Structure 1
Amino acid sequence: MMGKTENQIGFSIEKKWTLRTTHGFPIRHHKTKGIKRFDTNTLEELEAIKLSTKLNLDCDDAIQYYICKAHNFKIVSFDKHFDSTDVERIEPKSIFP
């Protein structure tokens, strides 16, 4: 495989001051202070895959978990299966009015 091995995780800035997750959830820019996009490399993804088996998470969720754990962040998600991990989950509605 040639080219970049990094994957975009989190949020990316698009036109008209809108932020979108990789899943297309729109969020207004003025209400999202402190949100950053994190890129993962192949080694980080391999560590996340190990965690996915241990924590019974799919790969995308394991990468989100890995980033939050590494940076001491909370997970912002509607997915309740994160509640079985040691990273605190908060729902988007609690931070995005």
Structure 2
Amino acid sequence: MHLGEFQELGFMVDAKLASGQDEAQRDSLLYRFLLEAVEANGLAFGGGMNSDFSGFVVSGKAYGKVEEQHRELVRAWLESQSALQQVQVGELRDAWYGWG
């Protein structure tokens, strides 16, 4: 059960890729995102990138906590990338329940 003190939070991320990005550039961007914004902050990411970039960010530790500062760190990294446009970072939400 992931309730009460064991509740796990996360947040959605979405962005559009700027035109003209080839596969190698997309791969490099995703790799740097995982290293610099996700793993460097003790987070994990489920998602990917084709013509758009989207996914869900959670703690990299079992029952770890994702907080507002994590959202802002990820947002700042995404917004600093010229290859990404229309960056959206969702609110913190339950990672396990309420997906309807």
Relative contact order: is structure 1 or structure 2 higher (C-alpha 8 Å, sep ≥ 6)?
Answer: 2
Length-normalised TM-score, structure 1: 0.29
More helix by share: 1
